[in-house]
Chains A and B, each alone.
Chain A
Amino acid sequence: MQSKRWTLQVQGEATGIGFRPELAADLLHDTACVDLVEVVAERLFSRRDAMREALALREIWPIAVHGVKLSLASATGIDDDRAARLGRLARELRAPFVTEHVALTEVGGRELGHLTAVPFHRQAVATVGRNVARARRFLPDVPFLLENVAWTLRWPSDEMTEGQFHTEIVRATGCPLLLDVANVYANARNSGVDPRVLLESYPLDAVAMIHVAGGRLDDGFWFDTHAHDLSAEVLELLAIAIAHCGAVPVVLERDDDFPEFAQTRRELETLRSMARKGLPKTPMVTDMDTDAQAPPSIRTDETSPGSEFAEQQAMAEALLGDEVGSFEARAIRRTRAVLRKKRLEDARAFLPRLFGACGDRVEQLARTMLGEAPRPGRHVAPSDALRIADALTDEPGLGDDARWDRLLLRARFRGPDARGELRSRAAPYVARERIGARTLWVWKGPGTAAKVHTWWGGSAT
């Protein structure tokens, strides 16, 4: 077993933003307003144009890679292929970090569709440690940071506090922490704890990067929406975090309801001035065993993966089915609502033409459609997107865009099968669709990642 020493030193103020297409034009207009940008890996996996764009943007800013679907807490392990793609992406983008959440996004091959919190117990720590060790086999050459998530439900089996859990995670994995201050605030507020106390219970010495975002209170529960301005409370927590952590990169996350960019720029300036107050971070040295199957502090034979899998399955059933099981009914309802919203957002990425042309109208129609549709087990987003595009092909004013998006989806996926699921299309594909008075052709070569080419044929007669 080969033990290697991992040293990560992060110092100096740096302010970044999560790169979103809606922000692109403004960021290009004012490149100096950020020092780095963060891209969501899964968005690049699913869209070749986005990948090309990210490769070009690396010539302007350093690009941190942010994963959202590795499901590091899955009792059945991680998807090696996804981890390998994450590693390749990090190398292609020359990323200074790869980050991922300590969360569940799938259980037994079924996509949950959102970053679902994990139970705070030793078994979960062991599972995360095992999965991180496996992921690191595909990410040997880049620092791997783990992010805390905001929870919408708590598990009956919790046996430690949130702070203790993340301390154990850092100890078990040897990975630095990406501290999402907004998530800390949301979790503290929703559990009735002083946010400052919760923050200080985290292993702040291990923090190598910070996320901040806006949220909102809805029905007595604070949601980390990434669609609102930064609150004073989150900024206050950030100041405390920086005082403890030193100067580490601070990244603003904004995913929806984008304000005028002047407002975003003001927020970035605020973050920058706060980050400047942080003392230079002392080098953080952690030992990690890159070839280990089990985390250093917790042995896997102390755990029972079977019971943990059963527990995760019960949670998935509660979220995707009708029964709530041993979970709090209100929390399950709340989480289901989040999943429904997220489901639409995910499908949206596969319908650029439809949402680009008439976003509000399409969103309204799509929400109704998805509300009634059963959730496929896998490839949920493209399955939903195809369902929406199919349904809108005869809709006045939307038909052309719907047919366009549907044609591109069919080039990349086959199906749906009897269970309503799509499969990635590995075989070459040629097809055409009438768009207005012309014919649009698509062609894709062999392989699931092959580029889809489009070209216009002559006028339809």
Chain B
Amino acid sequence: MTPVDLLEFFPFDIADGPTFLALYFVLSVVGLVATALLARARGDAVELRLAPVASSALEPTAPSAVPSIGDVVDVVGYRVAPAEVRRRLAIGSVPASDENWAIAWMRGGVASLTDALLAHAVAEGVLVPSDAPKDFDVVVRPTKDRVLSYFHVMLATAGSCVSATRARQAAYETATAVGPELAAEARAAGLERPSAAHAASRRVVLVGGALLLGIGVLRAVRGVALDHPIGYLVGLMLLDAIATMALGMVSSASVMRRRYLEWVDASTVSLRADVRSGRRTIPSEVTLAVAVEGAVRLLSSPMFAPMADVFDASSYRPAERRVVTWSGSSSSSNDPPWGGGSSSGGSSSSCSSSSSSSSSCSSSSGGGGGGCGG
């Protein structure tokens, strides 16, 4: 029995010509999409199975279930005793101010964290719009927040009066520097997909890709046996293989992270509306709003119009990567700026349009472009 005899059934017996190629192309596209969805679902399932502590946060607190007729409805548990140790980055725990950075990081990485840092700085009065357009006075305040402390040092290093571009650069560099720590915090909170889940996803991708390639191989074997050209088919199979490998390398976001970010987004609907309308201007709330939904919607409020310059992404392109080292006088040379309680504090100055251009711009080492003083 020849391969031709064995493969005398649909779709392998389709006559020569573009019909099979078209069918194979459609099958590949549909198959790869389905594989991607299945891989994600499989990864989610494994992640949820491996994260019992984190998933328990999704369970109701009190009461535990809707009562049914005949039940004794015991709602004694209205007052839920506060947990001895508050869980960070968990569904049901309203984010503390220092959790906003991790939220911003998880939502949009460096770009999102940069926006959140700038929003906090403007709301807290660390960056104060000066008389000169697109310039900001830097009024650094002492803070115990490690991320903020780092950012304040970066700002102070840039000068007492900075351009919007320099301010954004300082935030960007801070975000880049603290990112790994925030990623670790997310991991510790169970908001990162474990490697076992990634592996499970990849296995699904491999199986899906193998099935698609297998169909191509069988058709190719039949083509060779009949001495038919198979060049186009092999080309399509190569594309399949590349797409499969690419899919295998793509890491789906953690399902726990997605759920947590969705929960923070939903639980702060009113808070964010208040921030947008200008009713709430507490820095931590402004930061949370930006961390959750970005700066764009916030800027639609006239209240935050002065912030537009620092958020104007188009005005900033990451410049030459500056090596961030800390050699402050009060801490050892290798400590990060947030170490040792060495937050800079209390420096205050104002931009005068004549002096600012020399002071802040000359102190720039990263050179994001733009200048102080009109």
Binding site for B on A (CB under 8 A): 4-14, 21-22, 24-25, 28-29, 31-32, 35-36, 49-50, 52-53, 55-60, 62, 90-91, 94-96, 140-143, 249, 283, 290, 352, 356-357
Cβ B274 vs Cβ A24 within 8 A: yes
Give Cα A31–Cα B277 distance, bound, in whole angstroms: 23
Q: Which 9 A-B pairs have the closest CB atoms?
A: A24-B270, A56-B266, A56-B267, A14-B78, A21-B270, A35-B78, A59-B92, A53-B269, A356-B277
Cβ A55 vs Cβ B75 within 8 A: no
Known interface pairs A24-B271, A62-B63, A356-B277; 10 further A-B residue pairs with C-beta atoms within 8 A, sorted by A's residue number: A4-B70, A11-B74, A12-B79, A35-B79, A52-B266, A60-B94, A62-B75, A96-B67, A141-B69, A143-B73
Residues on the A chain within 8 Å of B76, using CB: 11-12
Give Cα A7–Cα B79 distance, bound, in whole angstroms: 22
Interface string of B293-311 (1 = CB under 8 A from A): 0000000011000000000
Q: Determine whether B323 belongs to the interface, using a CB cutoff of 8 Å to chain A.
A: no
Give Cα A95–Cα B64 distance, bound, in whole angstroms: 10
Cβ B73 vs Cβ A9 within 8 A: yes
Give Cα A6–Cα B74 distance, bound, in whole angstroms: 13
Q: A9-B72, A52-B269, A62-B63 are in contact. Are A21 and B78 (CB under 8 A)?
A: no
Interface residues on B, range: 35 or more
Residue of B nearest to A30 (CB): B94
Q: A9-B73, A62-B63, A141-B67 are in contact. Are A50 and B269 (CB under 8 A)?
A: yes
Give Cα A24–Cα B71 distance, bound, in whole angstroms: 33
Give Cα A36–Cα B62 distance, bound, in whole angstroms: 10
Give Cα A81–Cα B274 distance, bound, in whole angstroms: 33
Q: Tell which of A21, A57, A91, A290 touches B69, judged by Cβ atoms closer than 8 Å.
A: A290
Binding site for A on B (CB under 8 A): 57-58, 60-63, 65-80, 82, 91-92, 94, 263, 265-271, 273-274, 276-277, 279-280, 282, 285, 301-302
Q: How far is the CB of B26 from chain A (nearest CB, A)?
A: 27
Cβ A357 vs Cβ B277 within 8 A: yes
Q: A25-B280, A55-B266 are in contact. Are A12 and B60 (CB under 8 A)?
A: no
Give Cα A249–Cα B77 distance, bound, in whole angstroms: 11
Q: Which of B63, B74, B75, B279 has the most CB of A within 10 A?
A: B75
Q: Tell which of A7, A57, A96 touches B75, judged by Cβ atoms closer than 8 Å.
A: A96
Q: A28-B94, A59-B91, A356-B276 are in contact. Are A249 and B75 (CB under 8 A)?
A: yes
Would you list 10 pairs from A and B whose C-beta atoms are within 8 A, ordered by A residue? Answer: A9-B75, A21-B270, A29-B94, A31-B94, A53-B267, A59-B57, A96-B66, A143-B73, A283-B72, A357-B277
Residues on the B chain within 8 Å of A22, using CB: 270, 274, 279
Grouping DSSP codes into helix (H, G, I), strand (E, B) and loop, the A interface class, with mixed when no group exceeds half, is mixed
Cβ A94 vs Cβ B63 within 8 A: yes
Cβ B266 vs Cβ A53 within 8 A: yes
Residues on the A chain within 8 Å of B61, using CB: 59-60, 62
Grouping DSSP codes into helix (H, G, I), strand (E, B) and loop, the B interface class, with mixed when no group exceeds half, is loop
Give Cα A25–Cα B75 distance, bound, in whole angstroms: 26
Give Cα A24–Cα B279 distance, bound, in whole angstroms: 12
Give Cα A24–Cα B66 distance, bound, in whole angstroms: 25
Give Cα A425–Cα B260 distance, bound, in whole angstroms: 33
Q: How far is the CB of A256 from chain B (nearest CB, A)?
A: 14
Q: How far is the CB of B66 from chain A (nearest CB, A)?
A: 5
Give Cα A60–Cα B273 distance, bound, in whole angstroms: 20
Cβ B274 vs Cβ A94 within 8 A: no
Question: Total number of A-B contacts with CB less than 8 angstroms?
Answer: 124
Cβ B78 vs Cβ A6 within 8 A: no
Residues on the B chain within 8 Å of A50, using CB: 269
Give Cα A7–Cα B279 distance, bound, in whole angstroms: 44
Residue of B nearest to A24 (CB): B270
Cβ A7 vs Cβ B274 within 8 A: no
Cβ B67 vs Cβ A36 within 8 A: no
Give Cα A57–Cα B285 distance, bound, in whole angstroms: 17
Q: Which of B68, B78, B280 has the most CB of A within 10 A?
A: B78
Residue of B nearest to A435 (CB): B300
Q: A11-B76, A32-B82, A59-B263 are in contact. Are A141 and B68 (CB under 8 A)?
A: yes
Give Cα A14–Cα B72 distance, bound, in whole angstroms: 18
Give Cα A403–Cα B250 distance, bound, in whole angstroms: 42
Cβ A94 vs Cβ B66 within 8 A: yes
Q: How far is the CB of B277 from chain A (nearest CB, A)?
A: 4
Cβ A10 vs Cβ B269 within 8 A: no
Q: Tell which of A9, A28, A35, A58 touches B271, judged by Cβ atoms closer than 8 Å.
A: A28
Residue of A nearest to B95 (CB): A28
Cβ A96 vs Cβ B63 within 8 A: yes
Residue of A nearest to B285 (CB): A25
Q: A141-B66, A143-B67 are in contact. Are A21 and B273 (CB under 8 A)?
A: yes
Q: How far is the CB of B271 from chain A (nearest CB, A)?
A: 4
Residue of B nearest to A248 (CB): B75
Give Cα A36–Cα B279 distance, bound, in whole angstroms: 25
Q: How far is the CB of A441 from chain B (nearest CB, A)?
A: 16
Residues on the A chain within 8 Å of B70, using CB: 4-7
Give Cα A184–Cα B92 distance, bound, in whole angstroms: 36
Residues on the B chain within 8 Å of A249, using CB: 75, 78
Give Cα A352–Cα B77 distance, bound, in whole angstroms: 36
Give Cα A293–Cα B70 distance, bound, in whole angstroms: 20
Cβ B75 vs Cβ A10 within 8 A: yes
Cβ B60 vs Cβ A94 within 8 A: yes
Give Cα A62–Cα B59 distance, bound, in whole angstroms: 12
Give Cα A140–Cα B68 distance, bound, in whole angstroms: 7
Residues on the A chain within 8 Å of B279, using CB: 22
Cβ B267 vs Cβ A13 within 8 A: no
Residues on the A chain within 8 Å of B73, using CB: 7-10, 96, 143
Residue of A nearest to B275 (CB): A25
Residues on the B chain within 8 Å of A52, using CB: 265-266, 269
Residues on the B chain within 8 Å of A8, using CB: 73
Residues on the A chain within 8 Å of B72, using CB: 7, 9, 283
Residue of B nearest to A35 (CB): B78
Q: Which of B73, B82, B279 has the most CB of A within 10 A?
A: B73
Q: A36-B78, A141-B69 are in contact. Are A62 and B274 (CB under 8 A)?
A: no
Q: Which of A11, A56, A59, A142 has the most CB of B within 10 A?
A: A59
Q: Tell which of B65, B68, B69 touches A94, judged by Cβ atoms closer than 8 Å.
A: B65
Q: Which of A28, A58, A283, A290 has the most CB of B within 10 A?
A: A28
Cβ A58 vs Cβ B60 within 8 A: yes
Residues on the B chain within 8 Å of A14, using CB: 75, 78-79
Give Cα A249–Cα B74 distance, bound, in whole angstroms: 12
Cβ B69 vs Cβ A140 within 8 A: yes
Residues on the A chain within 8 Å of B68, using CB: 140-141
Q: Which of B57, B66, B282 has the most CB of A within 10 A?
A: B66
Give Cα A7–Cα B78 distance, bound, in whole angstroms: 19
Q: How far is the CB of B361 from chain A (nearest CB, A)?
A: 31
Q: How far is the CB of A356 from chain B (nearest CB, A)?
A: 4
Q: A62-B62, A96-B67 are in contact. Are A356 and B273 (CB under 8 A)?
A: yes
Cβ A90 vs Cβ B277 within 8 A: no
Give Cα A52–Cα B264 distance, bound, in whole angstroms: 11
Residues on the A chain within 8 Å of B91, using CB: 59
Give Cα A55–Cα B74 distance, bound, in whole angstroms: 22
Residues on the B chain within 8 Å of A4, using CB: 69-70
